């Protein structure tokens, strides 16, 4: 009987409900129900709904970065590392559609804008992807475009195809995923 048992249940309930029905479909009463606690209990663990949602996001973000670093080809050329990241990104998202849907909701909301602004203007930001792109720029293997543009070119379409796959607008398989990631590389490479 650990302490964080309930806390975790609340976070997971939030993730599920937001993923399934959007922020509108996740009122605190429902979150409480799904987590098996009373409405008021949530406020013993989280100051507000905003705090709860941000915590849920960070929980997912960590899981995702962990997945990305598995078998990351550390010393390999830039292109190969990018293909790894892109492939993992897409496969992770379509394997965990609920997590993807939550992330999508989050990014397309004021939460997401704030989160992005902080990341962008907080120069201490030391994540693998930024490092990779900066290295690629130094080496001159990708187009000289602002970082946000490179991110958009490289990952925007990948998220789009994940969404379309989950909505059954297209059917992704391993080969198609590879070709899409390579197309994104074509967009940014010199």
Partner DNA sequence: CCTCCGAGAATGAACGTTCATTTTTTATCA
Partner DNA sequence: TGATAAAAAATGAACGTTCATTCTCGGAGG
Residue 97 site contact among its own copies, DNA, none (CB < 5 to 8 Å, cut-off depends on kind)? none
Q: What is the Cβ-side half-sphere exposure of residue 177, based on CA atoms within 13 angstroms?
A: 20
Task: Select the binding partner of residue 179 from DNA, its own copies, none (C-beta < 5 to 8 A, by kind).
Answer: its own copies
Distances (CA, A) of 190 to 43, 144, 148: 52, 8, 17
CA distance 109 to 113: 7
- Report yes or no: 18 and 26 within 8 Å, Cβ to Cβ: yes
Query: Does residue 127 interact with its own copies by CB under 8 A?
Result: no
Region of 145 please: left (phi>0), alpha (psi -120 to 50) or beta: beta
DSSP label at residue 143: -
44 binds its own copies (CB under 8 A): no
Which range binds its own copies by CB under 8 A, 80-88, 91-99, 103-111, 130-138?
103-111
Q: Of 37, 153, 174, 178, which lies in the binding site for its own copies, with binding defined by CB under 8 A?
A: 153
Residue whose pair of structure tokens reads 């490479």 in the numeric block: 189
Q: Which two tokens stand for residue 170?
A: 């297209």
Which of these, 23, 30, 12, lies nearest to 50 by C-alpha position?
23
Could you say which of 9, 12, 22, 115 contacts its own copies (CB under 8 A)?
22
Interacting residues with DNA (CB under 7 A): 1, 6, 24, 26-29, 36-45, 48-50
Residue 146's binding partner out of its own copies, DNA, none, with CB under 5 to 8 Å set by partner kind: its own copies
Among 20, 120, 134, 135, binds its own copies (CB under 8 A): 120
134 binds its own copies (CB under 8 A): no
Out of 50, 63, 169, 174, the only residue in the binding site for its own copies (CB under 8 A) is: 169
């Amino acid at each position: 009987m650990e302490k964080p048992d309930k806390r975790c249940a609340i976070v997971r309930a939030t993730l599920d409900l937001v993923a399934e029905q959007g922020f509108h479909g996740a009122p605190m009463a429902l979150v409480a129900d799904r987590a098996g606690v009373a409405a008021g209990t949530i406020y013993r663990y989280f100051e507000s709904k905003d705090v709860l949602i941000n915590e849920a996001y960070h929980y997912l973000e960590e899981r995702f970065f962990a997945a990305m670093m598995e078998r990351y080809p550390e010393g390999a050329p830039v292109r190969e590392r990018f293909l790894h990241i892109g492939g993992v990104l897409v496969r992770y998202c379509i394997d965990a559609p609920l997590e993807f849907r939550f992330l999508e909701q989050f990014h397309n909301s004021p939460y997401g804008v704030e989160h992005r602004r902080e990341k962008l203007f907080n120069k201490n930001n030391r994540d693998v992807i930024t490092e990779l792109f900066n290295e690629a720029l130094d080496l001159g293997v990708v187009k000289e475009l602002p970082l946000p543009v490179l991110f958009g070119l490289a990952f925007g379409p990948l998220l789009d195809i994940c969404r379309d796959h989950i909505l059954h607008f297209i059917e992704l398989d391993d080969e198609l995923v590879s070709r899409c990631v390579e197309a994104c590389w074509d967009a940014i490479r010199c």
